């Protein structure tokens, strides 16, 4: 079995694992049933791709989205790994090519959607091709109580039993309840080797802001980050189109994406986003699942997401390269009412609706947090953390006040009007605003009429929004959105408990400057030239630019400026196959001149100790080609022979003589000098 470190370096071009990867790779490679919870962008795909190369047989990868599968297959092929996908998006020729490779025993990884498991012939086909491992990506989709349930994921446990092979399940968004269901459904309740690698993405700056002219807020946020790739998530299709048009009018490269678009139009947006630097996609949540673009620098939500899991997954599309990234989530009372009504009006059983309300409560608790957002977010997933110093609330702690009296006044106004009215009417009562509606219902005679004149309308709106965010009150869909009191509010109303609220600071989250430039001013021109070369190569190959090299690799090239293929091979992300395909082209950009192209045998040794040995052996051979006195018969060794010597490092002349391309005469002439080189002399 080839070692994980050798494959990591030679195939994927990385010198070291990320935190937590190596133990997972070893467990999967050794055939242990495995469950790994890793943060988005933490490198979970490598944790089944590497074991697939270390183990015998084919690794079947169950993945929920065509875009994700295509992206990973393209990336693997660029790295020289035999991979294929069977999806409904394949052409007939693509499907035939995958089956031919399987029958010939040439494929190491086979991607497929869970829906394919419903086909009666799938299991027989997988038995025939010799599957050695099942990998399940986005394993939380198996949970009927989760946020992305896919019924066909329930067939995976049956597949594992039928093939009797190890299974490795991966996800980034699974709370304790979801993890229990994964174990029950995929592993028959027998606990697999479990790795909880945390949910923290420390490179992502978290920020929320109450809505106050949300279009202006989004435009301001994007303006500070002009030229950087970003995603704006919206709650409706119409909003994606209007906001994309507004961004374009401000000079941004922006386009809309939603499920109502024609398939060709959606694919065109996906293609642009994959290949075009600095594009902003304004989208519904239909966009982004499976997008592995590593250099998305920011994600903004123009509307509140559905749940804390959805929020975590959507912001996780930023900064997958580990470089700094930013988020901004806007929210308001209308968002809360919409999300509550969607849950209440769903056909789900009561216990499911209660669970969905709890998930929404967790997100609202994050939105209305008074202390570090990262602490609040990680606490939901069962992790403890110190204040991060890298979120909007750590940047500028909120102005708090004792909101007990204000909340009691609001609750009293609700109860005295029979819980039949919404926020607007209740604020009119509290501030003593004698509207026709207030007078007609006699609410100007209530004891609570005018008791809240000490705060203005905007301040009361913030109080009611925070009350909804704390789940003290909820809009009642059966009463046209009128607010009703929840049990958590009773202790406050009775004077048994208090509550602290915060004053809104809308401007703070929107004027935050963009993250610093990716490279220094000195390296910026070279970085731009490298990106231009990448774009040209990607366009010619018909693949996304980041499949060639991601931004972090190009940044390292710009900063370290390799001047030989050996130096290029030491750049992170430059594996052997990519070095062979693209190394020369990028080297010429860095050096500014056409570089000598080494022999293919030497190129395969680039960046390795054997490469330096090869060069010294070749030099010795040239010096001794006609013997020590320069008058002997000309002798030379093939480059392949020099490579064998550099890699195998024989310790005697006899061993040298037995290598292909040597023989007694060459061993006699070159042997002592070659051995001296190998010994470091």
Task: Tell me the CATH number for domain 524-603.
Answer: 1.10.150.80
The residue extents of the domains of the chain are 4-196, 204-395, 399-503, 524-603, 609-678
Distances (CA, A) of 473 to 308, 424, 488: 19, 15, 9
**DSSP for residue 581:** I
For 414, residues 6+ apart whose C-beta sits below 8 A from its C-beta are 421, 426, 473, 483, 484, 485
3-class secondary structure, 456: coil
Q: How far apart are CA 637 and CA 431, in angstroms?
A: 95
Rounded distance between C-alpha atoms, residue 269 and residue 257, angstroms: 7
Query: Tokens representing 357?
Result: 């309300």
How far from chain centre, in Å, is Cα 651?
49
Give me the residues paired with residue 401 across strands. Answer: 501
Which helix H or strand E contains 132, and what residues bound it? Answer: strand 131-136
Query: What count of residues does the chain have?
Result: 681
pLDDT of residue 539: 85
For 170-187, give one letter per residue: b (16+ CB within 10 A) or e.
Answer: bbbbbbeebbebbbebbb
* 8 Å CB contact between 240 and 328: no
The span from the CA of 297 to the CA of 323, in Å, is 8
| CB contact at 8 A, 313 and 359 | no
Closest CA to 12 of 678, 639, 578, 521: 578
- 19's tokens: 């935190």
Q: What is the mean pLDDT of each run of 10 residues along the chain (681 residues)?
A: 84 86 95 90 88 95 85 89 89 90 93 87 90 93 75 90 94 81 92 88 92 93 92 93 95 91 84 84 73 84 91 88 91 88 85 84 90 92 88 92 94 94 94 93 94 92 90 85 91 93 58 61 88 89 86 91 89 88 91 73 77 86 86 86 88 87 88 87 49
What phi, psi does 397 have (nearest 5°)?
A: -55, 140
User: SS3 for 396?
Assistant: coil
In terms of Cα–Cα distance, which of 588, 678, 549 is closest to 78? 549
Structure tokens at 261: 């678009």
- The H or E element spanning position 2 is none
One fold for 4-196 and 399-503: no
- Residue 445 has a pLDDT of 93
DSSP per residue over 520-547, as a string? -TTTHHHHHHHHHHHHHHHHHHTS-HHH
- CATH of the domain spanning 609-678, picked from 1.10.150.80, 3.20.20.80, 3.40.50.720, 1.10.3720.10: 1.10.150.80
- Residue 112's DSSP bridge partners are 62, 86
Among candidate residues 60, 65, 4, 58, the one with its CA nearest the CA of residue 29 = 4
Strands of 179-276 (E only): list them: 193-196, 204-205, 208-210, 230-233, 254-257
Which are the contacts of 670, defined by CB distance < 8 A and separation ≥ 6? 620, 621, 624, 635, 637, 656
83-86: strand order across its sheet: 83-86, 109-112, 58-62, 131-136, 167-171, 34-37, 193-196
What is the C-alpha to C-alpha distance for residues 601 and 586, in angstroms, rounded to an integer? 20
CB 424, CB 464: distance < 8 Å: no
For the entire predicted model, the pTM comes to: 0.74
What pLDDT shows up at residue 507? 39
Would you identify the CATH topology of the domain 204-395?
Answer: Rossmann fold (3.40.50)
Instruction: Report how far residue 214's alpha carbon sits from residue 332's, in angstroms, rounded to the nearest whole number.
Output: 10
Q: What is the CATH number of domain 399-503?
A: 1.10.10.10
Instruction: Tell which residue, 123, 506, 172, 176, has the closest CA to residue 314.
Output: 172
Residue among 515, 147, 457, 470 nearest 328 (CA): 515
What is the predicted pLDDT for the residue at 29? Answer: 95
Q: Give the per-residue pLDDT at 513.
A: 56
Residue 206 DSSP one-character state: B
Closest CA to 109 of 80, 89, 138, 145: 80
Three-state DSSP at 649 gives coil
Using CA atoms, how far apart are residues 43 and 172, in angstroms rounded to an integer? 10
Domain 4-196, CATH among 3.40.190.10, 3.40.50.300, 3.40.720.10, 1.20.1250.20: 3.40.50.300
Q: Where are the beta strands (DSSP E) in 178-225?
A: 193-196, 204-205, 208-210
What is the C-alpha separation between 376 and 470, in angstroms, rounded? 14
């Amino acid at each position: 079995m080839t070692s994980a470190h050798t494959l990591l370096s030679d195939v994927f071009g990385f010198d070291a694992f990320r935190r937590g990867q190596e133990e997972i790779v070893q467990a999967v490679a050794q055939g242990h049933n495995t469950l790994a919870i890793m943060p988005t962008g933490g490198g979970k795909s490598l944790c089944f791709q590497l074991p697939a190369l270390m183990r015998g047989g084919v690794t079947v990868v169950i993945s929920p989205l065509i875009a994700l599968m295509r992206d990973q297959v393209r990336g693997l092929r660029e790295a020289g790994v035999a991979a294929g996908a069977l999806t409904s998006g394949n052409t007939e020729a693509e499907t035939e090519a995958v089956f031919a490779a399987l029958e010939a025993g040439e494929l190491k990884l086979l991607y497929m959607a869970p829906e394919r498991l419903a086909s009666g012939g799938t299991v027989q086909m997988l038995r025939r091709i010799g599957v050695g491992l099942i990998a399940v990506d986005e394993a939380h989709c198996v949970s009927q109580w989760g946020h992305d349930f896919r019924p066909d994921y329930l067939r995976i446990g049956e597949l594992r039993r039928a093939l009797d092979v190890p299974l490795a399940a991966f996800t980034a968004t699974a709370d304790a309840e979801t993890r229990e269901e994964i174990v029950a459904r995929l592993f028959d309740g027998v606990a697999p080797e479990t790795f909880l690698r945390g949910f923290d993405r420390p490179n992502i700056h978290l920020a929320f802001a109450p809505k106050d002219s949300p279009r202006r807020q989004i435009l301001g946020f994007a303006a500070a980050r002009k030229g950087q790739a970003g995603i704006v998530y919206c709650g409706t299709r119409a909003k994606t189109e209007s906001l994309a048009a507004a961004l374009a009018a401000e000079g941004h490269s922006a386009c809309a994406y939603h499920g109502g678009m024609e398939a060709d139009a959606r694919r065109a947006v996906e293609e642009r986003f994959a290949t075009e630097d600095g594009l902003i996609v304004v989208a519904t949540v239909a966009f982004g699942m499976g997008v592995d673009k590593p250099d998305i620098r920011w994600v903004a939500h123009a509307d509140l997401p559905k749940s804390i899991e959805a929020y975590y997954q959507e912001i996780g599309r930023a900064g997958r390269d580990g470089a700094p990234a930013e988020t901004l989530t806007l929210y308001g009372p209308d968002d809360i009412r919409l999300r509550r009504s969607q849950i209440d009006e769903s056909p789900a059983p009561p216990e499911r609706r209660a669970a969905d309300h709890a998930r929404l409560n967790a997100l609202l608790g994050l939105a209305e947090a008074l202390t570090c957002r990262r602490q609040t977010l990680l606490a939901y997933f069962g992790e403890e953390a110190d204040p991060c110093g890298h979120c909007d609330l750590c940047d500028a702690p909120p102005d708090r006040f004792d909101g007990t009296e204000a909340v009691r006044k609001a609750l009293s106004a609700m109860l005295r009007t029979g819980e039949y009215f919404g926020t607007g009417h209740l604020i009119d009562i509290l501030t003593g605003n004698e509207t026709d509606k207030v007078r007609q219902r006699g609410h100007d005679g209530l004891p609570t009429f005018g008791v809240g004149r000490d705060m203005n309308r905007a301040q009361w709106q913030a109080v009611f929004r925070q009350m909804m965010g704390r789940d003290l009150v909820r809009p009642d869909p059966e009463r046209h959105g009128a607010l009703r009191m929840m049990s958590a509010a009773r202790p406050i109303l009775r004077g048994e408990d208090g509550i602290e609220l915060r004053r809104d600071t809308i401007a703070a989250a929107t004027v935050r400057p963009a993250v610093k430039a990716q490279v220094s001013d000195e390296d910026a021109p070279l970085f731009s030239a490298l990106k231009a070369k990448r774009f040209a190569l990607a366009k010619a190959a018909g693949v996304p630019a980041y499949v060639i090299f991601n931004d972090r690799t190009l940044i390292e090239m710009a900063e370290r400026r390799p001047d030989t293929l050996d130096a290029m091979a030491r750049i992170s992300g430059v594996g052997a196959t990519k070095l062979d395909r693209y190394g020369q082209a990028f080297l010429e950009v860095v050096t500014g001149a056409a570089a000598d192209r080494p022999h293919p045998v030497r190129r395969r040794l680039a960046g390795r100790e054997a490469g330096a040995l090869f060069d010294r052996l070749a030099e010795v051979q040239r010096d001794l080609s006609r013997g020590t006195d320069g008058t002997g018969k000309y002798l030379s060794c093939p480059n392949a022979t020099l490579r064998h010597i550099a890699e195998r490092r024989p310790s005697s002349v006899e061993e040298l003589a037995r290598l292909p391309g040597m023989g007694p005469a060459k061993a006699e002439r070159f042997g002592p000098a070659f051995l001296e080189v190998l010994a470091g002399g």
